[in-house]
Copies of this chain bind each other. A is one copy, B any other.
Amino acid sequence: MSGLHAWAPDGIPEVRPGDDLAALVLEACAGGADLRDGDVVAVTSKVVSKAEGRIRTGDREEAIEEESVRVVARRGATRIVRHRLGLTMAAAGVDASNVEPGTIVLLPLDPDATAQALRRDLLARGGVNVAVIVTDTAGRAWREGQTDIAIGAAGLLVAEDFAGRTDGYGNPLAVTLPAVADELAGTAELVQGKLGGRPVAVVRGRGDLVLPPGEDGPGARALVRAEGGDLFGWGAREAVVRALAGDDADRLPFGSPAPLAELQHAVGRVAGRSRAMSSTLSLTFDDDPGRVELRLPGDADRTAVAAVCFAHGWRIRSWGAAQDGAGSDVVCALSPVTT
């Protein structure tokens, strides 16, 4: 039997800018006596931000703007942005709960670094080799409600990589990569709750995920999908607007240039709508090195074709008549949109 135990100590006082996080954790854990090698210590980002002075008064909207790299999606009052840490979050993680009324809390400047420092301090002053995660509450695409995730981590294998391993039947586990740091954050939330003033939690029982002293591992940053690596870099409505607006600066969230077969399929979907051409649709690519051409019937809708190319990471450099005299066909020269 494999077991896990998690708890959240009570009695942690209000945290103020400049407070010593390690002292706070150690005090809540009987000076360290309640901690063991291999434990995972979870601290909410709220309390990290308070200790690090990431609190301010003033305009919440302005703070969201400052914390954001770009808007991902917007509907009504909801604004989902990509935060400078790479996190995609409503309101850039700027929060006005569990804080003095009239003040707002920003996410920590560098939660991986905070986790590293806290891990180091707990080893030096508490004598225990624990992993540390900094947690925050995040909404999800497709599912209601929020779960806590790890936005900072140190001394932890943040994901268990099964690539190259096989199950008990010999089947390969090619894409299995449990994001255990996030599951640990969720476990911590279950014992912390939102209202009990319990910003610290300890999870015991997965010491196999905790690295030896001196090794901090990749950090929670490794769980952030790179800009352009995601299929959901824009909300559905925003994607349409961005592709049709066609600013190069807006391209990156659509990802790197699509393989030509995928581009061809997508262009076919919209070019096929053109009134007279559905029966004569013919798309050919000449992908000699450095030369990618798309051949279309002359009445293809150029706005639609250009927007679809753009969303697939390709830009149309020029339109011209087909040189082989085959009726009204046009040929456009494509180049990948690089960053």
Question: Please, how many angstroms separate the alpha-carbon atoms of A198 and B4 in the complex?
Answer: 14
A77 to chain B, nearest CB (A): 10
Q: Which residues in B have their C-beta under 8 angstroms from that of A243?
A: 240
Q: Are A190 and B184 neighbours in the complex by a CB distance under 8 Å?
A: yes
Within 8 A of B (CB), among A6-58: 6-10
A177 contacts B by Cβ under 8 Å? yes
- Judge whether A270 and B245 touch: CB under 8 Å: yes
Copies in the complex: 2
Give Cα A208–Cα B236 distance, bound, in whole angstroms: 38
A204 to chain B, nearest CB (A): 10
A248 within 8 A of B: no
Beyond A169-B98, A183-B147, whether A196 also contacts B237 by CB under 8 A is no
The answer to whether A169 and B99 touch (CB under 8 A), given A1-B10, A148-B183, A232-B142, is yes
Choose one: B171, B179, B254; the contact of A145 (CB below 8 Å): B179
Given A230-B141, A273-B246: A98 and B168 within 8 A (CB)?
A: yes
- Tell me if A222 is interfacial: C-beta within 8 Å of chain B: yes
Which B residues touch A184, using CB under 8 A? 190
Measured between beta carbons, the chain B residues less than 8 angstroms from A6 are 3-6, 187, 205
Q: Give the interface segment out of A109-117, A126-134, A276-284, A303-311.
A: A303-311
Which of A148, A167, A206, A312 lies at the interface centre, i.e. has the most chain B CB atoms within 10 A of its CB? A167
